[in-house]
Amino acid sequence: MLDNLINLVKEHAAEAIVNNPAIDNSKNDAAISETANSIFESLKGQAASGNLQDVLNMFQGGTSNNALSSVIESNAIQTLASKFGIDATQAGQMVQTMLPGILNSLVNKTNDANDNSFDLQDIVTKIGGNSGGIGGMIGKLFGN
């Protein structure tokens, strides 16, 4: 899953990271990987904090007006700022440029029966939400 997420971030990182002088070109791949890892860790952290339903809601209702998006954004900004020595304003601009597209693509790919790059059950298992009746939650999510 993380490899697919890294590829998804690459698709949306051209302006935000690759063509951005705030990140040295030799660190583009690392910034992309750290952004993907930050998204993954944010989802994982939310599941571990008992907010798995918020994660599932994101995949069901999309990312607009989802509080989880704000958590992911904040964590990604902090990650880029701390790991690459850029100020929070620059990191914020980078994340705000690419994150909506990344999350929308993640949700769309997860819900697309013709795209097997992301699977909701696999995502939930990898973020640690495989206990507590997750099968039922996923079933409700998709009306099964």
Mind listing the pLDDT tens digit for each residue in 97-112? 999 999 999 999 998 9
Can you say whether the dihedral through the CA atoms of 107, 100, 65, 3 is positive or negative? positive
State the maximum Cα–Cα separation within the chain, in Å, rounded to a whole number. Answer: 48
Amino acid 121: pLDDT:
84
pTM: 0.84
Q: Which domain holds residue 95?
A: 2-141
Mean pLDDT calculated for residue range 8-24: 94
- Provide the pLDDT confidence category of residue 143 given band limits of 50, 70 and 90: very low
Run of H or E including 96: helix 88-111
Model confidence over 48-78: pLDDT tens digits? 888 888 888 888 876 665 788 999 999 999 9
81 within 8 A of 91, measured Cβ to Cβ:
yes
Whether 36 contacts 5, CB under 8 Å? yes
The count of domains in the chain is 1
